[in-house]
């Protein structure tokens, strides 16, 4: 069932590719323009966004204006995220087809962003004890002398597990976000309670999503090492798919749990 849900989320995006592009292309261009402004106007080095560059470059203190540029980027990125997600939720749930420039007026973009930040903070607070436990386990593996190969295998498994748990927590709470997008807000706790019956299925779907992301990240890393420009383009594509599929999965769960729609058509 979990694989079918993930497959359905991918089909929702790629089966409606032209509308998915309409919902996201202009917002992404706005984000790209913000990056150019931050670099050219605020003199912000790209290393502040990506951590790229050599040790000497990283040790140079950026100008004060660069931090203003970084703040601008953060606000723009949050707005673009909300703009795309709200547009996509409304398209799927309300059959509100996106225009070439997705609508902003009358859309609860900032409430959506605010609730997303709140849910993110909740997940972080819950995850703190998890990170503590994982740190102890990692130290135990290193002290146990399992070798580099063993440490890498254990690290990958732990990373997959942590990612799945955090993603599971996010989906359990964030199921309320599509409701915010269509003007039917719910509290985060209501989302947690509403998803109890499908808790196991959501965790399995989270495990699949995280596994796909790990593989995609490895591929991007390999390509970036050989052809950096191609790697950057590929990374942008992976980021777009992750956003759209994540929004589609949330929409699917909301439609089933809250609106009583079939889980899979």
Q: How far out from the chain centre does Cα 216 lie?
A: 14
Q: Which residue has the higher pLDDT, 42 or 144?
A: 42
First to last CA, the chain: 12
Residue 252 lies in a domain: yes
pLDDT at 259 over 80: yes
Domains held by the chain: number: 1
Tell me, what's the pLDDT at 69? Answer: 84
**pLDDT tens sequence across 183-206:** 999 999 999 999 999 999 999 999
pLDDT at 179 over 90: yes
Per cent of the chain over pLDDT 90 is 58
d(CA 222, CA 205): 26
Mean of the pLDDT values across residues 42-70?
64
Residue 262 lies in a domain: no
Tell me, what's the pLDDT at 261? Answer: 87
Mean of the pLDDT values across residues 50-57?
46
Contacts (Cβ under 8 Å, ≥6 apart) of 142 = 151
Residue 265 lies in a domain: no
Mean of the pLDDT values across residues 102-117?
96
Residue 263 lies in a domain: no
Residue 264 lies in a domain: no
Q: Which residue has the higher pLDDT, 168 or 151?
A: 168
Q: What is the 3-state secondary structure (H, E, C) of 172-235?
A: HHHCCHHHHHCCCCCCHHHHHHHCHHHHHHHHHHHHHHHHHHHHHHHHHHHHHHHCHHHHHHHH
pLDDT at 133 over 90: no
The boundaries of the domain holding residue 105 are 2-257
d(CA 124, CA 166): 8
Residue 40 lies in a domain: yes
Residue 160 lies in a domain: yes
pLDDT at 130 over 70: yes
**Segment among 1-10, 106-115, 222-231, 254-263 with least mean pLDDT:** 222-231
**pLDDT tens sequence across 68-104:** 888 888 999 999 999 999 999 999 999 999 999 999 9
Residue 109 lies in a domain: yes
pLDDT at 137 over 70: no
Is 4 within 8 Å of 261 (Cβ atoms)? no
Tell me, what's the pLDDT at 145? Answer: 55
């Amino acid at each position: 069932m979990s694989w079918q849900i993930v497959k359905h989320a991918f089909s929702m995006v790629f089966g409606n590719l032209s509308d998915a592009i309409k919902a996201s292309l202009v917002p992404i261009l706005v984000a790209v323009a913000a990056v150019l402004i931050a670099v050219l106007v605020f003199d912000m080095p790209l290393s502040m966004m990506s951590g790229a560059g050599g040790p000497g470059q990283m040790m140079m203190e950026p100008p004060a204006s660069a931090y203003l540029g970084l703040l601008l980027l953060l606000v723009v990125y949050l707005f673009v995220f909300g703009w795309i997600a709200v547009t996509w939720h409304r398209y799927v749930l309300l059959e509100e087809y996106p225009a070439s420039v997705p609508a902003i007026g009358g859309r609860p973009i900032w409430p959506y962003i605010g609730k997303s930040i709140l849910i993110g903070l909740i997940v972080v607070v819950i995850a703190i004890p998890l990170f503590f436990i994982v740190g102890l386990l990692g130290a135990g593996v290193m002290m146990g002398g399992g070798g580099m190969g063993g440490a890498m295998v254990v690290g990958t498994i732990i990373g997959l597990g942590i990612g799945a748990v955090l993603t599971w927590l996010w989906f359990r709470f964030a199921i309320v976000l599509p409701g915010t997008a269509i003007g039917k807000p719910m509290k985060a706790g209501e989302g947690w309670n509403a998803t109890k019956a499908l808790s196991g299925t959501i965790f399995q779907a989270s495990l699949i999503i995280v596994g796909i992301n790990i593989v995609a990240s490895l591929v991007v890393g390999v390509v970036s090492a050989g052809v950096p420009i191609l790697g950057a383009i590929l990374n942008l594509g992976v980021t777009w798919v992750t956003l759209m599929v994540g929004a589609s999965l949330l929409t699917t769960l909301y439609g089933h749990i809250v609106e009583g729609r079939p889980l899979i058509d």
